[in-house]
């Protein structure tokens, strides 16, 4: 990585996205990344996670990166939880906007999944979708097939539209946000996922909640991500890092660009951060 900015010397907390950032495309976590997180902690830099995943999809990764009691952000920060899945606090989509989102996604002909009451709800065989098996892995949930979402929409944590028509997903992001964006957060978490969450369930507010809970000012927080849902936290943190494979519109919003997730870019950023802080201490 190129030289880190002066703000790097004061970073006390790193908050990382998971999919497309911390883990590789096959959802595996590199030993190199785990070792770099250990080195960062040994240097006095705390580390935690924020993700569009539900709380159930965070525990295994949190254990691998040796998070103990630190809070973790699920549903783009809409739910703060502990490693064991205990929810500290959560925000849900207003029912009217949840229904409108499902209607708009249905009208566009995309697959719709609803996450509510700790379940992943689908109206069809979710495993038939090319993204179903990976969602099982990421969420830590098996899909529950239902005839209708009606009974769950008053308690929805997240609604996901799913399609490999990427231009359609980009268009829907703008259209759904225009319709319900005053009361909900609407953003792509992957090129094939359009997520609707509560208004405060965005990674900007989420990283602020995490920092406050951990007693770290936002100017001392670094964040890493790769998709449009990560941009709100780029605007709030003292140091923002986009992954090398992130879309251009995401990379231009970050202060730094790391190597790709396939190149273990989080590890390389953390080691650069530790080196900068070690050099700063030697100058004191």
What's the whole-number average pLDDT of the chain?
A: 94
The answer, yes or no, to whether residue 1 has pLDDT greater than 90, is no
Q: Provide the CATH number for the domain formed by 95-198 in this structure.
A: 3.30.1240.10
For 17-44, write each residue's pLDDT tens digit: 999 999 999 999 999 999 999 999 999 9
Pick the CATH number of 6-90+202-283 from 3.40.50.10140, 3.40.630.30, 3.40.50.1000, 3.40.50.150: 3.40.50.1000
Tell me what pLDDT residue 84 has: 79
Cβ pair 183, 94 in contact under 8 A? yes
pLDDT grade, residue 90 (50/70/90)?
confident
Tell me what pLDDT residue 69 has: 86
Tell me what pLDDT residue 2 has: 67
Q: Give the DSSP per-residue string, 41-74.
A: HHTT-EEEEB-SS-GGGTHHHHHHTT--S--EEE
Tell me what pLDDT residue 263 has: 97
Residue 225 has, within 13 A of its CA and on its CB side, a CA count of: 33
For 207-223, write each residue's pLDDT tens digit: 999 999 999 999 999 99
The answer, yes or no, to whether residue 127 has pLDDT greater than 90, is no
Tell me what pLDDT residue 75 has: 92
For 137-149, write each residue's pLDDT tens digit: 889 999 999 999 9
For 63-89, write each residue's pLDDT tens digit: 999 999 899 999 988 888 888 777 888
How many Å separate Cα 7 from the centre of its chain? 23
Tell me what pLDDT residue 89 has: 81
Tell me what pLDDT residue 214 has: 93
Spell out the domain ranges in the chain: 6-90+202-283, 95-198
C-alpha span between 238 and 161 (Å, rounded): 32
Tell me what pLDDT residue 153 has: 97
For 218-239, write each residue's pLDDT tens digit: 999 999 999 999 999 999 999 9
C-alpha span between 130 and 272 (Å, rounded): 37
The answer, yes or no, to whether residue 170 has pLDDT greater than 90, is yes
Q: Which residues of 224-258 are buried (b: 16+ CB within 10 A; e: fewer)?
A: bbbbbbbbbbbebbbbbbbbbbbeeebbebbbbbb
Tell me what pLDDT residue 284 has: 61
The answer, yes or no, to whether residue 128 has pLDDT greater than 90, is no
Cβ pair 187, 195 in contact under 8 A? yes
């Amino acid at each position: 990585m190129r030289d880190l900015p002066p703000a790097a010397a004061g970073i006390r907390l790193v908050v990382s996205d998971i999919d497309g950032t911390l883990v590789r495309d096959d959802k595996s976590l590199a030993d190199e990344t785990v070792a770099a997180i250990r080195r960062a902690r040994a240097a006095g830099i705390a580390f935690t996670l924020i993700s569009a995943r539900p709380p159930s999809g965070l525990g295994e990764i949190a254990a691998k990166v040796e998070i103990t009691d630190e809070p973790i952000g699920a549903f783009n920060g809409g739910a703060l939880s502990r490693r064991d899945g205990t929810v500290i606090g959560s925000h849900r989509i207003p029912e009217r906007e949840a229904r409108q989102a499902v209607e708009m996604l249905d009208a566009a002909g995309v697959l719709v999944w609803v996450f509510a009451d700790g379940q992943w709800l689908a109206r069809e065989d979710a495993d038939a979708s090319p993204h179903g098996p990976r969602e099982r892995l990421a969420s830590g949930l098996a899909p529950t097939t239902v005839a209708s979402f009606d009974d769950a929409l008053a308690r929805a944590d997240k609604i996901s539209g799913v399609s490999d028509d990427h231009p359609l997903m980009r268009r829907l992001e703008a259209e759904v946000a225009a319709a319900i964006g005053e009361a909900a957060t609407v953003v792509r978490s992957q090129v094939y996922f359009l997520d609707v969450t509560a208004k405060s369930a965005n990674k900007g507010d989420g990283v602020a909640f995490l920092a406050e809970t951990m007693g770290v000012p936002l100017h001392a927080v670094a964040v890493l991500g790769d998709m449009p849902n990560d941009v709100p936290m780029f605007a709030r943190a003292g140091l923002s890092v986009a992954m090398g494979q992130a879309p251009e519109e995401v990379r231009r919003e970050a202060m730094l660009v790391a190597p790709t997730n396939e190149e273990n870019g989080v590890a390389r950023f953390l080691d650069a951060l530790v080196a900068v802080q070690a050099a700063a201490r030697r100058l004191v």
